Amino acid sequence: MKDGNLRDELVKVSRLAQERGLIVATDGNASALTDRGTVLITPSGIRKDILRPAQVVEMDLSGRLVAGRLRPSSEFRLHLAAYRARPDVRSVIHLHPCISVALAIAGVRVRTDMVPRETLCGLAKVPVVRFAPPGSVALATAAARALRSSVGALLDRHGSVTVGLNPVEAYNRAEKIEQLAALTLLTLVTSNVGPGRRR
């Protein structure tokens, strides 16, 4: 995909995430791998519903800024570690979906066994990564380890990280995790008020 298209896609999914409440304020970050092997990533400190494609910055895989006037997202280490762990991946998205984070805090695993496999966007499981400070090498390392065997994971007390072949696929997986988290929560709640079904 051309750089311009990748920038547009990153802005599109970032805006969707904000509009759907998967992030608030200046939260969240999205990146994509270019054909040159560099990484386009959203900048730090800007709401994603007013982000413009020209504000997306470019880094190399060692973390050096290649192009752009703004600071890259403070979670750039998380993105770079995901690309190193998954050579098949071309896009990474990190969001703060509320219900998913609540379940992680409560120690409840997001269930992937309640809906047809075809609807899971490739999410066979949603592992939870132990808390490490946002932006840290420790968080990036732990998340990358989880992403070796999953296309999505939750970061305890923090958010989600998902990967894909393009920004839309990575974003779809983040939306799906939040939907599965909502389903998991609702089945827990309704199991107390319903007649008691299977599962």
Site for Zn ion, rule CB under 5 A = 159
Report d(CA 191, CA 18) in Å as an integer: 31
Nearer to Zn ion (CB atom), residue 97 or residue 159: 159
Q: How far apart are CA 174 and CA 101, in angstroms?
A: 12
* 43/159 with CB nearer Zn ion: 159
Shortest Å, Cβ 175 to Zn ion: 17
**Residue number with CB closer to Zn ion (18 or 111):** 18
**Computed from CA positions of residues 177, 181, 186, 188, in that sequence, does the dihedral angle turn out positive or negative?**
positive
Nearest residue to Zn ion, by Cβ distance, number only: 159
Smaller CB distance to Zn ion: residue 76 or 83? Answer: 76
Residue 137 Cβ vs Zn ion, minimum distance, rounded to whole Å: 15
**Hunting for tokens 């509009």 — which residue is that?**
19
CA distance 61 to 147: 17
Q: What angle do CA 163, 169, 175 make, to 5 degrees?
A: 85
Smallest gap from Cβ 95 to Zn ion, in A, equals 8
**Cβ 189 to Zn ion, closest distance in Å?**
27
